[in-house]
């Protein structure tokens, strides 16, 4: 009888390993008790469902009976889904970094029955290769060292636990707010390492790094649309929307590109990345000029709803990088394949999408619009024709084997997506985007709360992980976005309730912890440093200012100031890792609330609305009157007299309202660079 215990788990990633001959355990106290009873170390393997090299190691080593026998005899083996338990992943990835390793997944870590790490790495081949030891030889060495009580193990355990404990609390700071000049210094430094031709930070591999793009976006607004910052952002978005990292047939973005020009993606498609990028594209679309960003916005939003939203309303976590154990198999084309589908139209399509006989990746072609001499977006007639041809190719591609979908629902990743779809609704007026966002929000509140507390992960009808600070932060942001789009008070009340819970359960003297205080891990991990997703600390600071403006309650601003004061050293020393914190600081200094009143019987003139959206300012919350006679708190009562007016508020006070485009432009210009003061 198999002793693999993953078959009953809800995580799709863990279930991928349920047929391995390895006697896997899920993370549990019983697994560590087994290791203690047998006096063997724990072999901890952390990955996620869309991870290519996780699949490679599973096929090469975890499916091999001889290697499995060695693992079963010498270790207790624990599998963790890093998306389900990012708290566990963070601790042991930090330990790996402390060993001088770069990190990545699969994360392979050897730990004591007490959970203390002593050695680790990432992917290991089944035999010595590329200068790396073979996995069986490594297992033999680790086991032998453990059994003889090697002093190195004890030394490593103590050193790593000490390191984790030191980095587990506040990063530093004397409680004072950073110098506001740090924001412009950070933006200038980013320009010095930027690829001004292709976008993104110079070099390869190239990641979108959405929090960094937002930091540059804010610098552009703060400095009166400084073209240097604006161009850095727009060059990056154009490259992302034109390269092979974008799925030109179905919509949506891959995780990153392995090259420096956004051509060759790592083909996994993550909800978190697509939510962040959709929000950025929707933010900038009103000022972009042309239709490139508009089309990528609607295509990506449509793909999220069509391809990632589950029947209950939540959004699935990811699509796999592999199809049938081959990376990118679903997505790439040969020229004969395109010729067969498109016939006489093929040459026209191939000229625009870089399809050649020799291909641009391993003899095949990744569709992209980076073709020299061709525009990334052509005139209307050409784009209409290409759109029709793409639809024909997609029909054929949909008949191919498809990458697996991880149907785990993560609250924080859904929060990002809800916010993005709500922004897309504000830009396009497409009701389906708002409805999809609301459906996801109601799934989280209805199916992913226990005793009024948010949970992190849900799959197959089961809650599988308790709430994290990132869940609260992103769902607060989503609730504020929905409140702004609908002017419905229940969303604002939910945001307030969640903020109180986050402040009570996840913060202490300005430090934002990823887990609540009763964690059973060897240290309590923090969430102050941006990774693929922004840290909870940064998002909590960002949402504090609109909550302060909407309610007039000083607690929100005080919480944000405490977080910024505690993390002042991080902000001064790590521009990239503190990008979301710096964006929060920007919102605190110059946050604005734009309220457009129309009255219940007034016809909305879209000119003022479009002007407000064209600010492309992440530090400004826009609320449009829904006719319910319920303006935001700082806006004077009695605004529903049928006259359209723009009320522009900073902190808890509002400027005199204006009701025409000329005066609105002057008002927006006058407040764009202002420093908000407590009311």
Give residue 489's Cα distance to chain centre. 27
pLDDT reported for residue 384: 97
* Nearest-angstrom CA–CA distance, 196 and 190: 11
What is the mean predicted confidence (pLDDT) over 253-268? 96
What is the mean predicted confidence (pLDDT) over 102-110? 93
* Nearest-angstrom CA–CA distance, 485 and 232: 29
pLDDT reported for residue 601: 53
DSSP state of 502: H
pLDDT by residue (tens digit) across 172-203?
Answer: 456 789 998 999 999 999 999 999 999 999 99
What is the mean predicted confidence (pLDDT) over 332-349? 98
The pair of three-digit structure tokens given for residue 1, joined into one six-digit string: 């009888």
- Phi, psi for 496 (deg, rounded to 5): -65, -45
Q: Does pLDDT of 323 surpass 50?
A: yes
* Nearest-angstrom CA–CA distance, 634 and 499: 20
pLDDT reported for residue 173: 54
Parallel, antiparallel, or unpaired for β 620-624 and 409-410? unpaired
- 490 Cβ partners below 8 Å, 6+ apart? none
pLDDT reported for residue 168: 46
Confidence of residue 2 (pLDDT cuts 50, 70, 90): low
Question: Higher-confidence residue: 565 or 673?
Answer: 565
Give yes or no for a contact between 546 and 591, defined as CB atoms under 8 angstroms apart.
yes
Can you list the domains of the chain with their CATH numbers?
Answer: 12-167 (3.40.30.10), 181-324+405-590 (1.50.10.10), 331-397 (no CATH), 592-671 (no CATH)
* Nearest-angstrom CA–CA distance, 93 and 90: 5
pLDDT by residue (tens digit) across 505-522?
Answer: 999 999 999 999 988 899
Share of the chain above pLDDT 70, in %: 95
For residues 37, 42, 47, 52, the Cα torsion angle rounded to the nearest 10 degrees is: -120
* Cis before 167? omega within 30: no
CA 538 to each of CA 1, 474, 580: distance values in angstroms, whole numbers, following the listed order: 49, 10, 4
Give yes or no for a contact between 365 and 328, defined as CB atoms under 8 angstroms apart.
no
pLDDT reported for residue 603: 55
| Mean pLDDT estimate for the chain | 93
pLDDT reported for residue 165: 85
CA 419 to each of CA 254, 482, 588: distance values in angstroms, whole numbers, following the listed order: 20, 7, 20
Give yes or no for a contact between 595 and 649, defined as CB atoms under 8 angstroms apart.
yes
Classified as helix, coil or strand, 393 is helix
19-23, 251-255, 327-331, 630-634: which has the minimum mean pLDDT?
630-634
Give yes or no for a contact between 563 and 510, defined as CB atoms under 8 angstroms apart.
yes
pLDDT reported for residue 675: 52
CB atoms within 10 A of CB 653: 12
> b vs e for 31-68, b when ≥16 Cβ sit within 10 Å of the residue's Cβ?
bbebbeeeebbbbbbbbbbbbbbbbbbbebbbebeebb
* Nearest-angstrom CA–CA distance, 272 and 663: 39
Classified as helix, coil or strand, 40 is coil
pLDDT reported for residue 224: 80
The pair of three-digit structure tokens given for residue 606, joined into one six-digit string: 């879209």
Residue given tokens 């902190």 in the structure block: 651
230-239, 271-280, 400-409, 604-613: which has the minimum mean pLDDT?
604-613
Nearest CA to 187 out of 146, 143, 219 is that of 219
Give yes or no for a contact between 175 and 510, defined as CB atoms under 8 angstroms apart.
yes
Give bridge partners of residue 596 from the DSSP assignment.
Answer: 624, 646
Q: Does pLDDT of 604 surpass 60?
A: no
pLDDT reported for residue 130: 76
The pair of three-digit structure tokens given for residue 154, joined into one six-digit string: 């004890």
* Nearest-angstrom CA–CA distance, 362 and 547: 51
Angle at 307 between CA 105 and CA 46, to 5 degrees: 15
CA 251 to each of CA 236, 245, 303, 413, 432: distance values in angstroms, whole numbers, following the listed order: 17, 10, 6, 18, 17
């Amino acid at each position: 009888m198999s002793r693999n215990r993953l078959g009953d788990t809800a995580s799709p990633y863990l279930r991928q390993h349920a047929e391995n001959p390895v006697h896997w355990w899920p993370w549990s106290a019983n697994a560590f008790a087994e290791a203690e009873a047998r006096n063997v170390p724990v072999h901890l393997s952390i990955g996620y469902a869309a991870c290519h090299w996780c699949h490679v190691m599973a096929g090469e080593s975890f499916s091999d009976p001889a290697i499995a026998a060695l693992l079963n005899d010498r270790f207790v083996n624990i599998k963790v889904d890093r998306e389900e338990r990012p708290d566990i992943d963070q601790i042991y990835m930090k330990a790996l970094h402390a060993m001088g390793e770069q990190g990545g997944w699969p994360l392979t870590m050897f730990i004591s029955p007490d959970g203390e790490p002593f050695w680790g790495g990432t992917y290991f081949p089944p035999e010595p290769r590329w200068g790396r030891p073979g996995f069986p030889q490594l297992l033999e060495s680790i086991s032998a060292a453990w059994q003889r009580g090697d002093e190195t193990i004890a030394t490593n355990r103590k050193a790593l636990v000490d390191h984790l404990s030191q980095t587990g609390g506040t990063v530093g700071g004397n409680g004072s707010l950073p110098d506001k000049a740090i924001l412009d210094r950070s933006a200038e430094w980013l320009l010095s390492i930027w690829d001004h031709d292709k976008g993104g930070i110079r070099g390869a591999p190239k990641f979108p790094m959405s929090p960094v793009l937002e930091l540059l976006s804010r610098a552009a607004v703060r400095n009166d649309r400084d073209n240097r910052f604006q161009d850095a952002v727009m060059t990056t978005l154009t490259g992302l929307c034109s390269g092979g990292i974008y799925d030109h047939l179905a919509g949506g973005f891959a995780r990153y590109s392995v090259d420096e020009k956004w051509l060759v993606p790592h083909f996994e498609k993550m909800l978190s990345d697509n939510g962040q990028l959709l929000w950025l594209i929707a933010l900038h679309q009103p000022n972009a000029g042309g239709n490139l960003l508009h089309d990528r916005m609607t295509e990506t939003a449509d793909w999220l709803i069509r391809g990632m939203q589950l029947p209950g309303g939540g959004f699935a976590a990811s699509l796999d990088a592999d199809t049938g154990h081959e990376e990118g198999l679903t997505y790439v084309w040969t020229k004969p394949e395109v010729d067969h589908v498109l016939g006489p139209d093929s040459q026209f399509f191939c000229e625009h999408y870089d399809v050649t006989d020799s291909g641009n990746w391993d003899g095949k072609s990744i569709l992209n619009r980076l073709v020299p001499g061709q525009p990334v977006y052509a005139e209307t007639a050409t784009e209409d024709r290409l759109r029709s041809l793409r639809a024909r190719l997609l029909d054929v591609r949909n008949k191919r084997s498809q990458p697996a979908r991880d149907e785990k629902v993560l609250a924080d990743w859904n929060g990002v997506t809800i916010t993005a779809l709500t922004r897309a609704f504000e830009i396009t007026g497409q009701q389906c985007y708002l409805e999809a966002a609301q459906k996801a929000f109601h799934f989280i509140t209805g199916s992913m709360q226990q005793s009024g507390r948010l949970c992190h992960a849900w799959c197959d009808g089961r809650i599988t992980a308790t709430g994290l600070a990132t869940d609260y932060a992103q769902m607060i942001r989503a609730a504020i976005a929905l409140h702004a789009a609908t002017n419905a008070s229940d969303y604002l009340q939910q945001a307030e309730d969640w903020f109180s819970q986050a402040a009570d359960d996840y913060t202490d003297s300005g430090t934002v912890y990823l887990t609540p205080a009763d964690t059973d891990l060897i240290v309590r991990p923090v969430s102050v440093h941006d990774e693929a997703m922004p840290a909870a600390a940064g998002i909590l600071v960002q949402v504090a200012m609109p909550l302060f403006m909407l309610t007039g309650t000083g607690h929100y601003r005080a919480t944000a100031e405490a977080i910024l004061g505690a993390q002042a050293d991080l902000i001064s020393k790590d521009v990239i890792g503190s990008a979301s914190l710096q964006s929060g600081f920007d919102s605190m200094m110059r946050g604005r609330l734009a309220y457009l009143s129309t009255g219940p019987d007034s016809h909305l003139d879209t000119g003022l609305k479009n002007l407000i959206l064209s600010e492309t300012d992440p530090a400004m919350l826009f609320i449009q009157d829904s006719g319910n006679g319920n303006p935001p708190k700082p806006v004077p009562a009695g605004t529903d007299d049928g006259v359209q007016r723009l009320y522009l508020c900073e902190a808890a006070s509002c400027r005199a309202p204006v009701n025409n485009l000329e005066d609105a432009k002057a008002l927006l210009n006058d407040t764009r660079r202002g420093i908000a003061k407590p009311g």
